[in-house]
Structure 1
C-alpha cells in the first residue's frame, strides 16, 4: 500500500493535464471534494488540488498540440538524471529532460517502450503528496500494457522494483513494490491490455486509482457531472469494489472502495 513515507521507485506524485482547468476543478470538486488553487506565473500556472488543506494532486493546462488530456503518475527518484539514463538504456524515451522546479525538486517525463507515459520526481523542498490511501486520495497505480513481461523487465531495470504475485481464480496479478520491501508495501500492478473490452490496445497507460467511500455512488456522480463510466463498478474478493472512469475531457482514472484489511 502507498504511504507518505516515500521510497525510491514508489509513486510520490500525480498530476492532471487538462484543456480546461476551471472545468476540471469543478468536476473533481464534485467527485472528491477537492479544491483547486492555480499557481502563479513563476510555475507556469501549475496548480494544486487540495483536500482538507492537504495537497493530493497537481494540475495544469495543456493544449491538444502538447499532449492529450490525462493523468500522469510520478515515481520517486533520488537522482532524476540517473533515472533518465536508465530509461534510455532500457529502451524507453525521455519526453521531458530532467529539470529543476525552483527549489521544490527535479522532474522528468518519460515513455516506456510501449509508449505509456510516466514521470519521476526527485524531492527537495516538496517531498510529495501530503496524503495518500485516504478517501479522496491516490491509493494505487496500475499499468495497462501490451506486454506485461517486457514491462516488468523495463521498470525493474529503471527503478529496481521487485514483483509480487497475488493469485486469483484463473491467474495471478503482478504487483510492484520497492526493492527489499514486504509485499504489503506493493503500490501498483501490471495488467495485460489485450482482451480488455474497455481499453484500446494501442494506448497503454498508467491508471491512478483514488480511494472512495462508495464506488457506485462515485461512478454515478461522475456520469451525472459530464464524466464517463468506462467500466461499471465491479467487486473483487479481498480487494474491493472498483470502477474505471474518465473526466469530461477524456482523462482516464479509476476509483476503488478498498476491502478492509484481513484481521491480524
Structure 2
C-alpha cells in the first residue's frame, strides 16, 4: 500500500509523527517519482509515493489490475487511528455483525479515493493471508482482479501458491485467498459488471 502525494516531505513527516518507523531514507526512483518505505506501529510495511514521470496505476478494477489494498490486523482501533493520522484519509467503519469489524479509508479532501481498508482478525486465527503460525500481527494484502477466480486459483496453485481460502462468493464478488511461494499473501477477486467505470 503506497498512497500518492503531491507534497512528499510534509506527508513523510506526518507519517513519522503519527508513529511510523522509517525503513530507509526517502529516495528518488530515477525520474519516475520519490518514495519512502515505513512500518506502522504493528510492523506492517507501507510506503509513500510522489509521482514524477509516472502518475499512478493506469487502470483499477479491470482484469489483470489491482482492485484493493487491505490491512489484516489484530488491533483495528489502533490501526484505524494510525492510518488516519499517517495518511490523511478519513476512516469510515463499516456496519456489520459484531464479529466483523472493518474500516474503509477515504476520500481525502479533494475527493481522491483511498482504495484501502483495514480488517480485524483475532490473534491466532488462520484466515489471514499467511498461516496462523507464520502470520504477523498486521500485514497488507493486495487484491488482484481476474475474469475467472476458480481458473486463476488453480493456475496459481500449479505455480506453487498455497490456497488458504478456496474460491467463494461474497458481497464483493467471488474471491480466493492465497500466499505465493515466497510467503507473500494476496487475494484474487473476480471482475464484476461495471468494474473500472
For residues 133 and 77 of structure 1, the distance between their equivalents in structure 2, rounded to whole angstroms, comes to 21
Deviations 1:119-166 (A, max 9, x none): 111001111222221101101000011211111111111111112233
Q: Could you tell me the TM-score, scaled by structure 1's length?
A: 0.65
Q: RMSD in angstroms over aligned alpha carbons?
A: 2.2
State yes or no: 1:228 paired with 2:174.
no
| Offset, 1:242 | 1.0
Q: Is the 8 A contact 1:84 1:97 kept in 2?
A: no
Q: Is the 8 A contact 1:116 1:205 kept in 2?
A: yes
For residues 84 and 177 of structure 2, the distance between their equivalents in structure 1, rounded to whole angstroms, comes to 26
Q: Is the 8 A contact 1:229 1:245 kept in 2?
A: yes
Among residues 40, 55, 58, which one is paired with 1:112 in the alignment? 40
| Offset, 1:172 | 4.9
- Which sections of structure 1, spanning at least 5 residues, go unmatched? 1-72
Secondary structure of 2:26 counterpart: strand
For residues 25 and 33 of structure 2, the distance between their equivalents in structure 1, rounded to whole angstroms, comes to 14
For residues 141 and 152 of structure 2, the distance between their equivalents in structure 1, rounded to whole angstroms, comes to 17
Which runs of structure 2 are paired with 1:1-264 in the superposition (5 Å)?
Answer: 73-170=1-98, 171-180=100-109, 185=113, 187-195=115-123, 196-199=125-128, 200=132, 202-237=136-171, 239-260=172-193
For residues 245 and 124 of structure 1, the distance between their equivalents in structure 2, rounded to whole angstroms, comes to 33
More strand by share: 1
| Offset, 1:193 | 2.7
